[in-house]
A and B are shown apart, each in its own frame.
Chain A
């Protein structure tokens, strides 16, 4: 249909070129990425039979996991208690992180803190806290307060201070400065400007971020038990390691249901608190 003399081809020659430079670079990048993929898969043992034999075993394990079965009522009770403990860890960690992070976020926000040095220092320390994984924090806190859920709550607090500090300071920087000017113009101090000019405006944003983090912290809290910091993760790791596979799938199911319930509750709560439109969007 498209003969060399077709009008289409004459009008848009660039779209009919077989080799243009852009396409060549794209192909080169694609090829090298693909080569890297094959090399990496080889290095990680994808081609030496581990994958195939493992897949067989995985299939066996998954079939042994079904149906989920806690074993006995005593187990159900233990698991429920530690699931509650997990939620408690997440709640305490999130709330205490908020208490610490809010002042730090104010220090790190450009429109609140004029001191560049203070701002720089608070930002860098937030970055450092954030880039250490929550499991590492858990292990460090275990050294301080011993094994148990308390270490888990402290670990979640530490990791969240980093994230909240960044998110809060961004929300504060995005706030409209006119209310603050209004308050200053009536003779209000800097502190009053923050309290009545900025906080009411960022409150809905902070609220929805806190609720979101509470939900995601429930997930984190369910795995920090693997390193000994309390919660359901301990039982989960134990069940997997002792090959109690039906109990494993039961615990996983419990975690999924709990996370879904908290997800549901927190979105209800968010809408109740800040209205359907979600308050100020950043």
Chain B
């Protein structure tokens, strides 16, 4: 079977080929230019960040050996040979883990509660007043851009060492993030039910309650559950700056080179986070299922 390929005469082909080559060349030049910029940026950044590959090469063996040492007890045995010794501090760690979970819970509920109210003031389509909307939005932005640990450091000075500072930091951050997400959910609702309720002469809050709320409730709950997952992780490191929870013991174990304690606490945290993730994702799926039914 032979196929007939139409071949243009050379005279016609040449300019086409030249144009093609030129366009390929210009794209190549473009890519090379970008690459050169990236390389220059990397070099500048390496100087600034004191990167020294020789130091890394000389010390890199410590990284795997550190990880391996995490799984050996003081006596030199592997950790799984003596679970009682590995998890010697279990009662204390479980109490601290419980505290971490409570911090995440209170932080999520209170932060979401405030965000729930303020999101209606921040959503463009239902906000009762323009300047109030701008104020709430900016406030939320500030709350979510300041890193949680910085907030925790400031709260530690005013509330003293302990979980209170951590909870407040989690509340502020959660509020900042959820106000934005909730307001976006509200901005996406169907306005007809709200108009319907308003047309009966009811006030703003009644219109929100019966027009907007039923549409946004499932999304709100889903975002709040997602935030709870994240907050458990955040609460676990609050202790790094003295703001309560399991982080305190973790950072102490790392700093004082209690290798097996580090791995034991990390295992506990990872297990807790995994269980929480599983439970909340189950709850979220149930919620989506419920919404589909009604």
Query: Across the two chains, which residue of chain A brings its CB closest to B241?
Result: A226
Known: A46-B164, A135-B237, A144-B60. A150 touches B266 (CB 8 A): no
- The answer, among B46, B63, B233, B240, for a CB contact under 8 Å with A92, is B46
Q: Which of B92-135 contact A (CB under 8 A)?
A: 99, 102-103, 105-106, 109-110
Determine the distance from Cα of A73 to Cα of B3 in the docked complex, in whole angstroms. 78
Query: Across the two chains, which residue of chain A brings its CB closest to B149?
Result: A223
Determine the distance from Cα of A255 to Cα of B103 in the docked complex, in whole angstroms. 27
Kindly specify which of A36-44, A105-113, A115-123, A167-175 makes contact with the partner chain: A36-44
Q: In this assembly, does B153 line the interface, its C-beta being within 8 Å of a C-beta of chain A? A: yes
A87: chain B residues within 8 A (beta carbon): 45
- The answer, among B55, B142, B163, for a CB contact under 8 Å with A45, is B163
Contact A135 B240 (CB under 8 A): yes
Contact B150 A44 (CB under 8 A): no
29 contacts between A and B (CB under 8 A): A41-B106, A44-B167, A54-B155, A54-B160, A57-B159, A61-B158, A84-B48, A89-B45, A91-B41, A92-B42, A92-B51, A131-B273, A135-B240, A139-B251, A140-B66, A141-B63, A144-B59, A146-B55, A148-B50, A150-B55, A150-B56, A153-B51, A223-B147, A226-B149, A226-B240, A230-B49, A237-B153, A240-B157, A248-B154
A28: chain B residues within 8 A (beta carbon): none
Ranked 5 nearest A-B pairs via Cβ: A54-B159, A88-B45, A88-B48, A58-B158, A40-B102
B55: chain A residues within 8 A (beta carbon): 145-146, 150
Contact A61 B154 (CB under 8 A): yes
Q: In this assembly, does A252 line the interface, its C-beta being within 8 Å of a C-beta of chain B? A: yes
Q: Is the interface of B mostly helix, strand, loop or mixed?
A: helix
Determine the distance from Cα of A227 to Cα of B13 in the docked complex, in whole angstroms. 65
B236: chain A residues within 8 A (beta carbon): 133
Q: In this assembly, does B250 line the interface, its C-beta being within 8 Å of a C-beta of chain A? A: yes
Contact A144 B62 (CB under 8 A): yes
Contact A145 B59 (CB under 8 A): yes
Q: In this assembly, does B44 line the interface, its C-beta being within 8 Å of a C-beta of chain A? A: yes
Q: In this assembly, does A247 line the interface, its C-beta being within 8 Å of a C-beta of chain B? A: no
Known: A44-B163, A143-B66. A85 touches B48 (CB 8 A): yes
How many chain B residues touch A (Cβ–Cβ < 8 Å)?
Answer: 57
Q: In this assembly, does B78 line the interface, its C-beta being within 8 Å of a C-beta of chain A? A: no
Contact A43 B45 (CB under 8 A): no
Q: In this assembly, does B278 line the interface, its C-beta being within 8 Å of a C-beta of chain A? A: no
Determine the distance from Cα of A58 to Cα of B56 in the docked complex, in whole angstroms. 43
Contact B49 A149 (CB under 8 A): yes
Contact B49 A45 (CB under 8 A): no
Contact B237 A133 (CB under 8 A): yes
Query: Across the two chains, which residue of chain B brings its CB closest to A251?
Result: B150
Contact A152 B273 (CB under 8 A): no
- Write the nearest CB–CB distance from A274 to chain B, whole angstroms: 13
- Write the nearest CB–CB distance from A281 to chain B, whole angstroms: 17
Known: A44-B167, A136-B254, A139-B251. A152 touches B158 (CB 8 A): no
Q: In this assembly, does B270 line the interface, its C-beta being within 8 Å of a C-beta of chain A? A: yes
Contact B270 A131 (CB under 8 A): yes
A256: chain B residues within 8 A (beta carbon): 142, 145-146
